[in-house]
Structure 1
Amino acid sequence: MFKYKRFLSGMFFLVGYVALTTVLCAGIQTGSFTIAAFNAEWLFDGVNDRFAPWTSPTAADAHLARIGSVIAALGADYVSLEEVEDARILGRLADLLSAFGYEQIFVQGRDTATGQDVAALSRIPPDRVGRTDARAKYPIFSSNLTCKSGSKGVSKNYWAELEIGVIPVTVIGVHFLAFPDRCDRAVKREAQALVIARLARDALRQGREVIVLGDMNDFDGTVLDASSDRPISIVLKTLKDPDPTRPGDELHNACDRIPQSERYTAWYDRN
């Protein structure tokens, strides 16, 4: 079941301060480009799914229709999605939303445990798409977590290069390990954040604007959620400063643009 709690450990937009809302984009409403991140909560087909809650294709189809309705109501020009089974189910979602003219962005991930992937729908066709298979050792430099050591990659990630008007933009979609308050998970999630930070750094050094968004499963220690939760990790801190050679943070949590009382999401509880 889903319980709703006033905290924000999931969906984040980390963006530069480029004025994306002022550019002109072909096929997009003049003067705007809207972006959304949405956890589709097991967007699977209901056939031989190991963990998905849908007991039949009929139940899965009903969920697909609900997800389509939410995205249609959002009407965003770019939608990054988490918990997508494969390219085929993404295509079915795009078909439901054919009026929006979405291009599908899907790069096969590496999550063999759940079979989940990240994906996107974009009204601007991407120039290039891909993913990173890089890994980072943990604990990462400057981490206070010492409960485990090893190396970790990001099984669920993609990147897409777009031209939004005349601005070259790299969008990076992620879904990090869950459980923000467990050291054994947080120390690995910090390594995942470092992998993505390096990817963002490289894009920034190419003169591109960068957007990192998705389900990061952690708290921001400076942009607090509605419950003022504090992280035990430096996941968001690492992501916001992908290039330590530059002064200050290169990326900024878009949640700082909304009142603290509105910074919350869903809390999944199997019980």
Structure 2
Amino acid sequence: MTIQGPDSGPEWARWSGRGTGPDEDDLDRAFGPDTASVASPSNRQRVRRGSVIAVSVVVVGVVLALVLTTIIGSVQSGVGGVFPQPQAALDRLRALASDVDGVQRVQDGRSEKRSFAGYDATAVVVAAPGMSEDRQTALVRALSAAVAQADGNGVRVGVEVRFESLRVGVTKDAAVSERRLTLARSLATIGGVSAVRCSWTADGPSEDPDAQRVEVVTAGRGQGLGAVMAVATDRTHAVFPDAEVASRTSF
């Protein structure tokens, strides 16, 4: 006869939680006897999760579409220097300059490619004759503002404004443009000088001191021409150091 002690038998096993077989241990009580104890999502939960994923995909798609549309529109408009539109810049400049008080007419401009995604666009503005110095200065300031609006997007814009015997380059920097005008007036007072152009070099519209070019029209020859150019060079370099200075017989 087998005598069961107080620590043996099925009753003790059930009371103690030790179980009677290899599959009945503490893990059964904690996690369940099999994988069926892991909760499976209901149909409603599956539908909800699927809906959230679908809505997220749609939202991301809409955002990407908007971003791509903006990028494509920017590229087509020349933003950031990618596929710039020099003719569009010239058209804007022409419209803005034509509305400036004192502008008689805006001549057809021209554009020149400077780099892979860079252009220079320049136009000629003819001012009304007989303008006072104050009106000339006001006109240069207004044209500089117009250039600043048309400049950019991979296109560098400049204007040559013609005041009868003076030709002045106007860029988006109003202060530099006014200095060109003041210098042109000063050079025009040199004996033997009949006309002056204060603009930029062949590298295009720029405010850099060494990128400026001055041309004086004079009939002087020999020592007379040398004297004229010496004065013109001194006055020019006092305003724009290292600027080019040249003479011409006419414009």
**TM over 0.5: same fold?**
no
Larger radius of gyration: 2
User: Which protein is richer in strand relative to its size?
Assistant: 1
TM-score with structure 1 setting the length: 0.29
Structure having the higher helix fraction is 2
Q: What is the TM-score of this pair, normalised by structure 2?
A: 0.31
